[in-house]
Copies of this chain bind each other. A is one copy, B any other.
């Protein structure tokens, strides 16, 4: 149990760590050497756009390694100001709607918790301090504890300063508790107001985004699953006939789905060889001498041969193989999946087909909006639809095991890794274990390291599970992964910190010995006591985490190591600096955990709120920078993950309210006035008791989750369809616009290759499609020093050049 002083010390330590990380970032960020680590987005887009611009311009080696001038160091904070300069519209244009809504998610945290913090600190903390219950206990009345908190699971309670600020300081049945009840209502109401407004804004943003989107293949295309098996006709003809018959005025064309996973493998190998070839070509250019290499094992064994010749023949062989495989896939009926991308002449036709039931058998001819071509996760399209159900069941069971049995193997490994365990398992280590340093390492650090190691594995396990589940788009994978990871963290991090033992044991004890109410009571006891733990958690995980997010130490290290040893060609360079997209499923789930902690403690120990607010604020700044400079969106789902975010905040509200119910059960219901019951009339007595209960806090506490549920339902019916369906109204309007603007547009040609498996297309078509589906990158910021090199293809945007410091004022149009 930490005192206020301990928290202060912890805060100072964490602030120092965070500050150090930030200072490192500020210094590193300025060095031209690290430019590709901290601003990879520009280089990536550049590389995609113009083939190989970096050979011409901005490799830091050509310029200088370290910044030696003074000015940039003085301006090292400029990135913050710059990050805030971009309006939301510019961010949408620059990084996509998903990124903008991800930022909004963090903003929602600020919107919810800043007022909560203000009110909480000013009222609840005052009320709690005035409660003086713990002080009275301190004055030698410890005997009372065991009396009052009879069923308390911990018999030795120690109270600290933090607890004096929490609800634990208010004596049972005190009328001060009414304040907490009222505040719970106020906080819930405020959270709901913010959530409602946000859902409304975001659904409008989404619709506006979809409305104003250029003509894109996915607007006209529907993914059809479960084409029924036929012995007479091929799937190709079946699809054509079916949609000609049922959507005669709208059906345009279709694209079959093939199981081309083997082909994809060959193409991948070929790309690797091509990369090697270009490396050898570079070597040849540099030394003007035919490079030699060994024949096998990446040049490790075999006879020496001419490297360029070797790789040319290798590539040719793979090309032939790929061609053969391509033909085989097209001809082999078993490679054709019973699915198809069906395109329509109008958006209206596609919207209709996506939203309606086609066949009388609802498990046949299932239609759904086709994801963006970039968004498709091709390997999963090759899973037969029938297997998906089985996989879903398996994943459900695995997830249950992962969530509830996660601590079991860890405890076992930890017990093996303890001194005792090592001694019994490996008697030969006896001598080593006698070394004091080693022993203390084993005792003090090893369990933590093991836990950390397993925790780091979880996102990968979650990702693996989600992919195995068979979702056919990256956006779905992210959403489903976030859901799983969130519940894992709620059980293992949030509740796991409160209760001891593995989650499965808790579940067992919940089912076995204690009742629902008893379980709530146990939680309610531990909650206020665990506040200090969560404050520390927030500081370590939220503050230092955000700082290391912007510093990207692993990215930095890996880039420089790769750059020093493994980068041979352009492709290697791009690969080395590529930070990938934001890992939504991890980040979203982590953010939701802060929401949960903030909301649960908002009424109980509001002293936690400033820490939460600071976390959100730091994360907001950091991710604004990252979204603008680092991460490149892999797909655009127009914010389809928002219902997840909204739903999880509602879940946090539910948990908060359940905890409150538990607390009020522990404290005993508070009544407006006590009604004395006479013993003579049992009926009257019953009625009086009923009145007393009705006048107490109980119905008010119980009503809270009911209100939240109603709000939840309302939001679900009001806004969620916007994220699942596309209204016909918009579709017909956009169709009309298109018709008037461009009456002779050739839709067939436009749609032709959009949904072909990428490995079926040659590289040129693929480039074009990528360009088509990518967002228009209007604004890209670029550190000043490359100004001269970039000038040829940049334009000034006047309103962005203002400001006293000279930085990042050039934008590629």
B511 touches A718 (CB 8 A): no
Cβ of A721 under 8 Å from chain B: yes
A684–chain B nearest beta-carbon distance, Å: 11
Partner of A393, one of B248, B393, B516, B710: B710
Of A246, A357, A714, most buried by chain B (CB within 10 Å of CB) is: A357
Closest to A518 in B: B515
- The stretch among A103-111, A291-299, A576-584, A725-733 that forms the contact with chain B is A725-733
* Contacts A246-B728, A246-B729, A359-B727 known; 5 new A-B pairs at CB < 8 A: A245-B732, A356-B727, A360-B722, A512-B515, A515-B518
Measured CA separation A717–B366 after assembly (Å): 11
0 or 1 for each of A499-516: is its CB under 8 Å from B? (1 = yes)? 000000000000111111
Which residues of B are found within 8 Å of A359, using beta-carbon distances?
Answer: 727, 729
Cβ of A362 under 8 Å from chain B: yes
Measured CA separation A248–B683 after assembly (Å): 68
Which residues of B are found within 8 Å of A207, using beta-carbon distances?
Answer: 360
Partner of A721, one of B246, B357, B720: B357
A360 touches B512 (CB 8 A): no
Measured CA separation A362–B715 after assembly (Å): 11
Closest to A682 in B: B415
A362-B246 contact given A393-B710, A515-B515, A728-B356, CB 8 Å threshold: no
Partner of A511, one of B362, B389, B517: B517
Which residues of B are found within 8 Å of A412, using beta-carbon distances?
Answer: 683
Cβ of A249 under 8 Å from chain B: yes
A719-B355 contact given A412-B683, A512-B517, A515-B515, CB 8 Å threshold: no
Which residues of B are found within 8 Å of A248, using beta-carbon distances?
Answer: 732
A360 touches B513 (CB 8 A): no
Cβ of A351 under 8 Å from chain B: yes
Measured CA separation A365–B363 after assembly (Å): 29
Cβ of A358 under 8 Å from chain B: yes
Which residues of B are found within 8 Å of A415, using beta-carbon distances?
Answer: 683
* 9 chain-A/chain-B pairs, Cβ below 8 angstroms: A242-B729, A248-B732, A355-B356, A358-B727, A360-B727, A362-B718, A362-B719, A362-B720, A511-B515
Cβ of A807 under 8 Å from chain B: no
Cβ of A567 under 8 Å from chain B: no
Which residues of B are found within 8 Å of A651, using beta-carbon distances?
Answer: none
A357 touches B512 (CB 8 A): no
Which residues of B are found within 8 Å of A726, using beta-carbon distances?
Answer: 357
Closest to A210 in B: B360
A717 touches B362 (CB 8 A): yes
Closest to A725 in B: B357
Which residues of B are found within 8 Å of A518, using beta-carbon distances?
Answer: 515
Measured CA separation A318–B688 after assembly (Å): 54
Cβ of A114 under 8 Å from chain B: no
A455–chain B nearest beta-carbon distance, Å: 22
Measured CA separation A702–B742 after assembly (Å): 62
Q: Which 7 A-B pairs have the closest CB atoms?
A: A362-B721, A357-B725, A355-B356, A515-B515, A360-B727, A352-B352, A357-B727
A802–chain B nearest beta-carbon distance, Å: 37
Partner of A363, one of B352, B360, B718, B728: B718
List residues 548-579 of chain A with CB under 8 A from any CB of chain B: none
Which residues of B are found within 8 Å of A513, using beta-carbon distances?
Answer: 515
List residues 477-532 of chain A with CB under 8 A from any CB of chain B: 511-518
A356-B363 contact given A514-B515, A515-B514, A732-B245, CB 8 Å threshold: no
0 or 1 for each of A350-386: is its CB under 8 Å from B? (1 = yes)? 0110011111111101000000000000000000000
Measured CA separation A355–B721 after assembly (Å): 13
Measured CA separation A355–B717 after assembly (Å): 15
B710 touches A357 (CB 8 A): no
A638–chain B nearest beta-carbon distance, Å: 13
List residues 455-477 of chain A with CB under 8 A from any CB of chain B: none
Measured CA separation A246–B719 after assembly (Å): 21
Partner of A389, one of B393, B514, B714: B714
Measured CA separation A721–B38 after assembly (Å): 52
List residues 192-221 of chain A with CB under 8 A from any CB of chain B: 207
List residues 710-754 of chain A with CB under 8 A from any CB of chain B: 710, 714, 717-722, 725-730, 732
A362–chain B nearest beta-carbon distance, Å: 4
Which residues of B are found within 8 Å of A352, using beta-carbon distances?
Answer: 352, 356
Measured CA separation A719–B361 after assembly (Å): 8
Measured CA separation A720–B362 after assembly (Å): 8
Closest to A362 in B: B721
List residues 231-247 of chain A with CB under 8 A from any CB of chain B: 242, 245-247
A153–chain B nearest beta-carbon distance, Å: 16
Measured CA separation A732–B363 after assembly (Å): 19
B683 touches A725 (CB 8 A): no
0 or 1 for each of A96-135: is its CB under 8 Å from B? (1 = yes)? 0000000000000000000000000000000000000000
Measured CA separation A419–B721 after assembly (Å): 61
B728 touches A358 (CB 8 A): yes
B357 touches A728 (CB 8 A): yes
Which residues of B are found within 8 Å of A719, using beta-carbon distances?
Answer: 362
Which residues of B are found within 8 Å of A725, using beta-carbon distances?
Answer: 356-357, 362
Measured CA separation A661–B214 after assembly (Å): 58
Measured CA separation A737–B718 after assembly (Å): 39
B362 touches A722 (CB 8 A): yes
